[in-house]
A and B are shown apart, each in its own frame.
Chain A
Amino acid sequence: MINQLSWKVGGQQGEGIESTGEIFAIALNRLGYYLYGYRHFSSRIKGGHTNNKIRVSTTQVRSISDDLDILVAFDQETIDLNYKELHSKGLILADSKFNPVKPEDAQAPLYAVPFTEIATELGTSLMKNMVAIGATAAVLDLDINVFEEVVREIFGKKGDQVVAKNMDAIKTGFDNMKANLEAGIEPMHLEKADGKKRMFMIGNDAIALGAIAGGCRFMAAYPITPASEIMEYLIKKLPDLGGTVIQTEDEIAAATMAIGANYAGIRALTASAGPGLSLKMEAIGLSGMTETPLVIVDTQRGGPSTGLPTKQEQSDLMAMIYGTHGEIPKIVMAPSTVEEAFYDTADAFNLAEEYQCPVIVLSDLQLSLGKQTVEPLDFSKVEIRRGKLETGELPDLGAKGYFKRYEVTEDGVSPRVIPGMKNGIHHVTGVEHAETGKPSETTANRQAQMDKRMRKLKNIRFNTPVYKNVKHENPDVLFVGFNSTRGAIEEAMGRLEQDGLKVNHAHIRLIHPFPTEEVLPLVQAAKKVVVVENNATGQLANILKMNVGHADKIVNHTKYDGNPFLPHEVYTKCKELF
């Protein structure tokens, strides 16, 4: 009996690899298993190697596994590129069509299964993916009926006959493999799951859902990998609520249109990835200077420039904190799980209105696109707080009077009115301005307004600025990370603890303003601080040094080859230190 399994299907992009993984995963998710999927894909539609690695477990997992149990290959390239991940008891199931060759040093046995041949006999070679799912089910000794519901949902529209044929393909694949198994391979029996129905979603789904729950009714965006799913989801749902999504002509229009909508009083979102964020920087400065709420999602991918558009990286951190010329108050949050992505995005709209500033919800490709099983989301935790937005009648301003939209206040936050409100007329400008918004360049005014703006975030209230797993008073190691590295760190921690090391973990959820008070004692208490991040220069480590010091104990663990951290990489790095 095994309690977790790692399964990978690979082939040429455009031949249904993604949907093969999807059907397999959805069916297992519905049995109550925890799934974690990660797609390897290229910035093209047809051709090029692609694979979908799916981890199945009876407990929650948030990372790709180190190794692989089953590799399903539709071409030789899939075998050559991936066989090294297989452990010794692993298995290669390859389509007999391409006459698969087992690499000399491969320990795992290779079984050529007539995926395409069976599918073609049953009607169409397109169903080779179904045959492969059937073969997998045989290895895992799964009841193939678990796939029927999913197949029906996907192919139901095409008629019962198509559903039946696809089920037939699964069954034939199952029977064929079963015969092979009887010839001597040991089936891998997966422990039974709890049968609970849980959501299966990508981080971008959670971000979009969080936006809706958080009151967002308008989005302006430009398509980009890996952010587009957010706009694609919202354009399906916002019309239910009277809202909509506009696909703009460019990233600048997306950001400024969202600013216009927020200025006018609704909650509007824009989302992009690094290249888009670079283009949005001037608009972010406008939001900061005019104190117009704005929520921006940055789904980080490999940079710089066009970089690695479909690969994992976390290298936008510094740009998100410091990007835009001049100095503005800005909030940068970094959810580390799909669940947090939901809650944090919803809350981002509150913070944007409470502090009247841009809020960047930072994600990364692994979090945004990795499809995984998610615990139920508690909608009652979502609040709507609109800060100092005036809602009642306003006192008469008198002739030519302007509302003090930028009134200098103790907490720096000024009362806010929206167009259409009587006695609320004021001016908004990115030029330095006085309390009514009229341009003013006097030194006293400049000082007062700059101080007022920067004061706003002095006492920022954010629910959980740091996710902490702190079991030890004086740990050997404190792991620090942000966004999707959490899963790999958590698994490495478990192994290190088994080795007798004392390990704490702090995952930074509020990147800026940095939660120094929470993090400093954790750093002080630790012998070593290992900062795990997907970039080359150790950006989070540098942020940590700037805010909490202790540079001598901070160790960088960086990875920037486009792939997510694996648990053993975090583990090994740490073992080297002791």
Chain B
Amino acid sequence: MATFKDFRNDVKPNWCPGCGDFSVQAAIQRAAANVGLEPENLAVISGIGCSGRISGYINSYGFHGIHGRSLPIAQGVKMANRDLTVIASGGDGDGFAIGMGHTVHAIRRNINITYIVMDNQIYGLTKGQTSPRSAAGFKTKSTPAGSIEQAISPMELALTTGATFVAQSFSTDLKDLTALIEAGIKHEGFSLINVFSPCVTYNKVNTYDWFKENLTKLSDVEGYDPSNRELAMQTLMKHKGLVTGLIYQNTEQKSYQELVHGYSEAPLTQADLSLDQAYFDKLVAEFV
């Protein structure tokens, strides 16, 4: 059986020292081993940005696509081979700006993949511009007078879009994050895990210390019940979205794969590509 070390390759990440993404990478590697995956049965599909490089840093099949499109690529991979474990990943710009359209539709489509967002509230690779997760008033190179737009609340958004698995974590909480990724992988449907992953170079506001001060663990909230969507929404609103842990899970909603009419139970990759002459004749006869 593979251990987390088997999910390491020899590529040195080009992230800045101290970047939150290192822990996310480690958590994915641990979670993959913990759920019993072999490296060849994991596909990590990533977007563009600092965090998008993650697919190249894990010893598994990896696809580093185009900006904002990790989700449709990942869904295509999963539809082709339902036996693969598919993780899509990227940053907050990737998932909540250029790729937002895909995010909400992937959530409501509920294909059985896991989406991990490394949320640092800034554009890092382009050297410090505002992100849809930047708070109003946040000063960046593209918002020198402070952002005048409101930040997106991805967890609330996910809940209203029909998400079946919504979780949030903080990159330093390696153990909790690993457990959430494991739960996400095991969830029969689309799982969204937003991870606060501080940018130590360009974001001097949302720092490790800032998160430590402002985050509330849901495990510390008395009576919290992740199967209660209404409570989840209330709790998120009360804490301005700054909570960590499993926010909501719906285990009753069937995944897309289970609902698709006629969809092969074996991976489509194993299907015979040639067609039966009799079936072809039947198709043709319908046009006569």
A-side residues, CB < 8 A to B, are 30, 197-201, 205, 209, 212-213, 215, 217-218, 220, 237-244, 246, 248-250, 252-254, 256-268, 282-283, 285-286, 290, 374, 376-377, 379, 382, 384, 386, 400, 402, 418-431, 437-439
Contacts and interface: CB of A to CB of B under 8 A. Distances in A.
A431 B11 CA distance: 15
7 contacts: A244-B262, A248-B72, A252-B102, A260-B76, A374-B287, A429-B55, A429-B63
Given A241-B271, A266-B271, A418-B269, A249 B40 contact: no
Contact of B262 (A240, A256, A258): A240
Interface stretch (B28-36, B176-184, B227-235, B277-285): B277-285
Contacts of B72: 220, 248, 252-254, 256-257, 260
State the 5 A-B residue pairs at the shortest beta-carbon distance, nearest first. A239-B262, A260-B76, A242-B264, A215-B273, A264-B80
Contacts of A258: 76
Interface string B248-280: 000000000000111110111101011101011
Tell me if A's interface is mostly helix, strand, loop or mixed. mixed
B283 A244 contact: no
Contact of B40 (A217, A252, A267, A422): A422
A430 B76 contact: no
B218 interface: no
B66 A282 contact: yes
A267 B76 CA distance: 11
Contact of A239 (B10, B65, B101, B263): B263
Contacts of A241: 271, 275
A384 B40 contact: no
A428 B64 contact: yes
Given A212-B275, A259-B73, A420-B269, 8 more contacts: A242-B262, A244-B260, A260-B72, A264-B43, A267-B273, A400-B10, A419-B43, A420-B81
Given A249-B105, A252-B69, A384 B274 contact: yes
Interface of B: 8-11, 38-41, 43, 45, 55-56, 59-66, 69, 71-81, 83-84, 101-102, 104-105, 109, 260-264, 266-269, 271, 273-275, 277, 279-281, 283-284, 287-288
Contacts of A426: 61
A258 B75 CA distance: 9
Contacts of B71: 253
Nearest to B43: A419
B66 A213 contact: no
A419 to B, nearest CB: 4
B274 A256 contact: no
Contacts of B83: 420
A200 to B, nearest CB: 6
Contact of A260 (B75, B275, B284): B75
Given A256-B73, A438-B11, A427 B269 contact: no
A324 B133 CA distance: 30
Given A205-B287, A430-B66, A438-B11, A213 B76 contact: no
Contacts of A386: 273
B284 A377 contact: yes
B28 to A, nearest CB: 15
B101 to A, nearest CB: 5
A260 B45 contact: yes
B256 to A, nearest CB: 8
Nearest to B269: A265
A467 B11 CA distance: 51
A438 B56 contact: yes
Contacts of A421: 40
Nearest to B104: A249
A265 B284 contact: no
Contacts of B77: 260-261, 263-264, 419
A259 B76 contact: yes
A421 B8 CA distance: 18
B49 to A, nearest CB: 12
Given A217-B271, A425-B60, A419 B280 contact: no
Nearest to B266: A242
Nearest to A198: B288
A426 B56 CA distance: 9
Contacts of B66: 256, 282-283, 285-286, 430
Contact of A419 (B81, B260, B261): B81
A199 B284 CA distance: 7
A199 B253 CA distance: 43
Nearest to B73: A260
B287 A264 contact: no
Contact of B273 (A290, A384, A431): A384
Q: Which of A199, A259, A438 gathers the greatest number of chain B CB atoms within 10 Å?
A: A259
Contacts of B79: 218, 244, 246, 257, 260-261
Given A242-B268, A253-B72, A253-B101, A264 B81 contact: yes
A248 B279 contact: no
A181 to B, nearest CB: 32
A423 B78 CA distance: 20
Contacts of A268: 76, 80
A238 B45 contact: no
Q: Which of A209, A379, A427 gathers the greatest number of chain B CB atoms within 10 Å?
A: A427
A218 B268 contact: yes
Given A260-B74, A419-B43, A431 B105 contact: no
Contacts of A379: 275, 277, 280-281
B40 A425 contact: yes
Contacts of B101: 249-250, 253
Contacts of A240: 262, 279
Nearest to A205: B287
Contacts of A420: 40-41, 61, 81, 83-84, 267, 269
Contacts of B11: 438
A428 B65 CA distance: 8
A386 B56 CA distance: 27
Contacts of B275: 212-213, 215, 241, 379, 382
Given A248-B105, A261-B79, A400 B9 contact: yes
A213 B64 contact: no
Nearest to B68: A252
A259 B43 CA distance: 14
A200 B288 contact: yes
A266 to B, nearest CB: 4
A197 B284 CA distance: 11
Contacts of A261: 76-77, 79-80, 268
Nearest to A394: B40
Nearest to B98: A252
A36 B161 CA distance: 47
A365 B274 CA distance: 30
